[in-house]
Structure 1
């Protein structure tokens, strides 16, 4: 199974565009920071990850406030067929209280 749940803020976001097939899509960068337990020790985790929202969710992502923290749900896939770099494909997100 390839499912990723991530609490992160929207660090950067491009403008809404359309694929040649007419599907709306928005690319961006998510920023995460947390404390995680690993081998009985607390570890500080910070990273940025490339993200993309396509289809219906792209409009919500395009209008979401930069810097706001959300709970994202999606999956990881290669950036393109010949790349080893991964991109987080957002399929849903909601605000974190």
Structure 2
């Protein structure tokens, strides 16, 4: 299974573009911060992650304010250059 649930905020948003199939696409950088427990020990997690949204979700994200947390779901894939990880956003929840 490849499913990610995350609360994040947009820290960088590129201009809306269109795929060769004509679908809207939006490239983003998201920031996530949380406290988790690992091996019965508290741990602070902070990361920036590259993300992409396709279709109506891309259009919705153009209206989200930078720096405001929201919930999302998606899956992890490889970017076009094959290096690192790219979060593909498939669901939004604008309330945290």
Partner of 2:69: 69
Structure 1 runs (4+) greater than 4 angstroms displaced: none
Q: Give 1:19 deviation, angstroms.
A: 1.3
Partner of 1:23: 23
RMSD (Å) for aligned C-alpha atoms: 1.1
Matched, 1:4 2:4: yes
Write the distance in 2 (CA, Å) between the matches of 1:68 and 1:93.
Answer: 13
SS of 2:26's equivalent?
A: strand
Matched, 1:96 2:92: no
- TM-score, structure 2 as length reference: 0.94
Partner of 1:45: 45
Q: Give 1:84 deviation, angstroms.
A: 3.2
The count of residues paired between Structure 1 and Structure 2 equals 96
Write the distance in 1 (CA, Å) between the matches of 2:77 and 2:58.
Answer: 17
Write the distance in 1 (CA, Å) between the matches of 2:37 and 2:24.
Answer: 38
Write the distance in 2 (CA, Å) between the matches of 1:94 and 1:40.
Answer: 29
Partner of 1:54: 54
- TM-score, structure 1 as length reference: 0.93
